[in-house]
Amino acid sequence: MVYGVNDMAYVIPARDPRTQSSGVVAGYAQTAQRWPARPLARRAHGASELTGPQPWSGLQTTGADLAGHGARRALGQLIDVRVSIVDEDGAPLPGAMVEIWHCNAAGKYIHPNDANDAPADPNFYGAARLAADAAGRIALRTIKPAAYPVPDTDGWWRPPHIHFSVWGRVWLSRLVTQMFFPGEPLNALDPILNAVPDAAARERCIARFLPQAGNALVFEHQLVVRGRTASPEMR
Ligand SMILES: [Fe+2]
C-alpha cells in the first residue's frame, strides 16, 4: 500500500497535556536535556520516510527471558510480563518491534552510566527486543526490578518500573514509556509518573496483577501507541 504525503494517518495528533507527561520534570535535571526546548513542529511523513526501510529491518530480536534458569537464574522475584500493543482503536499491532529494559533486583542497570553502588547480577540480562505476535502481544520472563535512588536528588527513589520502546512504521515514529507495578507506595511519590496530570492516564501506566498459580507472578499491561488514551511518553 502506498501512503500519500498528506495521509492523515501520519499527521502527529495534538499532544494532550493532561494525559501526557510534562516532559521536563521539576527536580530531575536530566529531563531538561531530554526534552525539546521549543514546541514540536508537526510534519506529515513524506515519501522518503514512508518508502524507506522499516525502523526495525536491521535490528535483531532477542530471547524473551531476562531471568535465566537454575544456577544461572537472576536473583529476585520471577515475573511474567504480558503486554499487548494496540492503536487508538484498541486494534492489535502484530509485528510491532518492542524494546524493553529495566534494572536488576538490587536496583542496578547494566549500563556504564549507572552510578548506583548496588551490586550487579551476572545472571541478569537487562534488555530485550521482541516482535509482537499475530495478536499484537509480547511475553517476557524476567525478575521484578527494584526501586532505586535517583542521583543528585534529595532522596528521590524511582518506584519499580520497566522501560518500553515501540517502533512505528518509520524512524520518526517511536513511543518510549514506562510500566509501573500495582500497590507500590513509591508510585504516588514519583515525579515522572506524576508528571502526567490525569489520574486515569497515570493508572493506565500501572500493570495489572493476574493471580495465577505458577512459579512466576504474572502482570498484564497494554501499550497504546497513539490517540486519546496513548501511553504517556516517559524517558
Ligand atoms: Fe529506570
With residue 146 as reference, give the H or E element that holds it. Answer: none
**Distance in Å, CA 185 to ligand 1 centroid:** 17
CA dihedral (230, 177, 197, 218) positive or negative = positive
With beta carbons less than 8 A apart as the criterion, state whether 150 and 28 touch. Answer: yes
Q: What is the pLDDT of residues 125-183, one digit of tens each?
A: 999 999 999 999 999 999 999 999 998 888 999 999 999 999 987 777 899 999 999 99
**Distance in Å, CA 186 to ligand 1 centroid:** 13
**Distance in Å, CA 232 to ligand 1 centroid:** 15
State the chain's mean pLDDT as an integer. 89
Is the pTM here over 0.85, yes or no?
yes
| Neighbouring C-beta atoms of residue 135, cutoff 10 Å | 10
Is pLDDT at 4 greater than 60 in this prediction?
Answer: no
Q: What is the pLDDT of residues 5-43, one digit of tens each?
A: 334 344 455 678 899 988 888 888 888 888 888 887 877
Burial environment of residue 173 by CB neighbours within 10 A (0 to 12, 13 to 18, 19 or more): middle
| Neighbouring C-beta atoms of residue 114, cutoff 10 Å | 16
